[in-house]
Amino acid sequence: MTKFLQLSSNSSLLGLSSEDLEEFARQEGEKAFRGRQIHEWIYQRGAKKLDSITVLPKKWRDSLKNKGIKVGRLDEIDRVLAEDETLKLLMGTYDGEIIETVGIPTDKRLTVCVSSQIGCPMGCKFCATGKGGLNRSLDVNEIVDQVISIREKMNRRPTHVVFMGMGEPLLNIRNVLDSIECLTNDIGIGQRKITVSTVGIPDTLPYLAKTAQERLGRVKFTLAVSLHAPNQMLRELIIPSAKSYPIKSLLKDCKTYLELTGRRVSFEYILLGGLNDKDIHAEQLANLMRGFQSHVNLIAYNPIAEENFKRPSQTRVNRFRELLENKGIAVSVRASRGRDKDAACGQLRRQSINQIKIN
C-alpha cells in the first residue's frame, strides 16, 4: 500500500514526495513521469486544483476528481498585514474549520509559524488558541500548505519554519514529522531551520526522538519546550497540564531526548508582568538550567482579551536576561512582531469564529 492510500481521509496529493507521486501515477496506469509533473506543479508552480495542472491528460484529471482526489490546498479566508510587515493568514480546511499561520519577515529571513492542530487541548492560560478546546489534528497537506501559502502571499521563499502556531505538535507526531520531511525534501527548507515547540506531554519526548530518527534519519530540527515558569507551583498556575507532568520529569525527558539525538533543547519562557518575571524567578530558572545543554528564549507576553496577564516592561525583560547571563545561561529575547494586528497565537481565528457566531 502506498503512502498516498494511507495519507488522509480527504485524499490529498500535497504532502507526497516525487517518488510517492511516481508510484501513484503507475498505480493509476500512467507513466512515472506524470508523477514528477504533478510534483513540480504542486510544489514549484503552486497549483491549487487538478484542473490547473494542464500538462496532465484531461481524461485522467477528470478521473481523479471523480475518485475524490484533490491537490489539498487550503482556502484563504482572511489576511492581516501588520505595520512591521508580519502577515497573518486565516485558512479554511476541507471540512469547514479555520486555522491560522503567520509569516514573519526580516531582511535576511522569512519565518513561517505553522499550526499543527485546529484549536488546542492544553489550556495554557496565556494562549487564545486553547480557549475553544481541540477540534482535530491537521493532516500533512494542511501543515505544508501553510508554508506554501505564505510563500505565495509574500512572494518570498521561506527560510525557517516554527511549529509554534495553534495546537500541541506532540499530539500529532506522525503528521508533524511527515510534514518536516516534506518541507525539507520537497520545499527545500533545511531541517536545521525547523523548530518544533511543545508544552510537554508525559513520556513523549523519548518517543519523539526515536520516531524522528526512524522517519527522518538523523534528527536536526530544534526542539523548543514551553517552560514559562521556574518552579512547579507557578507552572501549574500558568499551564494546567503541568499538574500531570512535573518539571523534574519534564527536564529528565529533555535530557533523554538530548542523549538520543545529540540536539540541544531550547526552552521558551513567556514573561508575564509581575507573575513570573521577578529576580527570584530568574535565579530559580538559572538553577534549573545549570549543567544542561540548553538555550533559553525569553518572550514578552502579548496580551489577549480573555486574560488579565500583563506585558512586562522592557526594563524588566532586560533585567531578567541579564540575571540569566550572569549565571552563565545561554539566553536570547524574541522580538515581538505584529502586535498592532493581534499577533498572539489564536487571536485572529478566535475573533473570526466569534464574528461568524454573531452574524
In angstroms, the CA 39 to CA 225 distance is 34
Q: What is the pLDDT of residue 359?
A: 45
Decide if 345 is catalytic: yes
- Cα 92 to the center of its chain, rounded Å: 17
Helix, strand and coil in the chain, % to nearest 5: 45, 20, 40
- Average pLDDT taken over every residue of the chain: 91
Give per-residue pLDDT as tens, 88-100.
999 999 999 999 9
- Cα 56 to the center of its chain, rounded Å: 33
In angstroms, the CA 83 to CA 160 distance is 21
Which of these, 296, 298, 281, lies nearest to 329 by C-alpha position?
296
Decide if 236 is catalytic: no
Give per-residue pLDDT as tens, 151-185.
999 999 999 999 999 999 999 999 999 999 999 99
The C-alpha cell 512572494 sits at 155
Using the predicted structure, report yes or no on whether residue 8 has a pLDDT greater than 80.
Answer: no
* Stretch 72-85: mean pLDDT: 94
Using the predicted structure, report yes or no on whether residue 1 has a pLDDT greater than 50.
Answer: no
**Of 22, 100, 168, 268, which residue is the catalytic one?**
100
Close Cβ partners of 173 (under 8 Å, ≥ 6 residues apart): 204, 207, 208, 211
Q: How many CB atoms lie within 10 A of CB 358?
A: 6
**Of 113, 124, 182, 345, which residue is the catalytic one?**
345
In angstroms, the CA 111 to CA 118 distance is 20
In angstroms, the CA 355 to CA 359 distance is 6
* Stretch 107-135: mean pLDDT: 90
User: Domains in the chain, start-ordered, CATH in brackets?
Assistant: 3-66 (1.10.150.530), 75-358 (3.20.20.70)
Q: Binning pLDDT at 50, 70 and 90, where does residue 127 land?
A: confident
Using the predicted structure, report yes or no on whether residue 344 has a pLDDT greater than 80.
Answer: no
Using the predicted structure, report yes or no on whether residue 2 has a pLDDT greater than 90.
Answer: no
Q: Binning pLDDT at 50, 70 and 90, where does residue 358 land?
A: very low
Using the predicted structure, report yes or no on whether residue 353 has a pLDDT greater than 60.
Answer: no
Using the predicted structure, report yes or no on whether residue 281 has a pLDDT greater than 90.
Answer: yes
CA distances from 115 to 72, 141, 172, 274 (A): 16, 12, 11, 29
**DSSP for 149-202, written as a single string:** HHHHHHTS---EEEE-SSS-GGGSHHHHHHHHHHIIIII---GGGEEEEES--T
Q: What is the pLDDT of residue 131?
A: 76
Give per-residue pLDDT as tens, 288-339.
998 888 899 999 998 876 678 999 999 999 999 999 999 999 999 987 765 5
* Stretch 254-265: mean pLDDT: 95
Q: What is the pLDDT of residue 3?
A: 54
Q: What is the pLDDT of residue 335?
A: 78
Q: How many helices (H) and strands (E) does the chain have?
A: 12, 12
Q: Binning pLDDT at 50, 70 and 90, where does residue 351 land?
A: low
Look at the chain and count its residues: 359
Q: Binning pLDDT at 50, 70 and 90, where does residue 49 land?
A: very high
Identify whether the C-beta of residue 4 lies closer than 8 Å to the C-beta of residue 130. no
**DSSP for 320-336, written as a single string:** HHHHHHHTT--EEEEPP
Q: What is the pLDDT of residue 357?
A: 45
Identify whether the C-beta of residue 292 lies closer than 8 Å to the C-beta of residue 238. no
Q: What is the pTM of this model?
A: 0.91
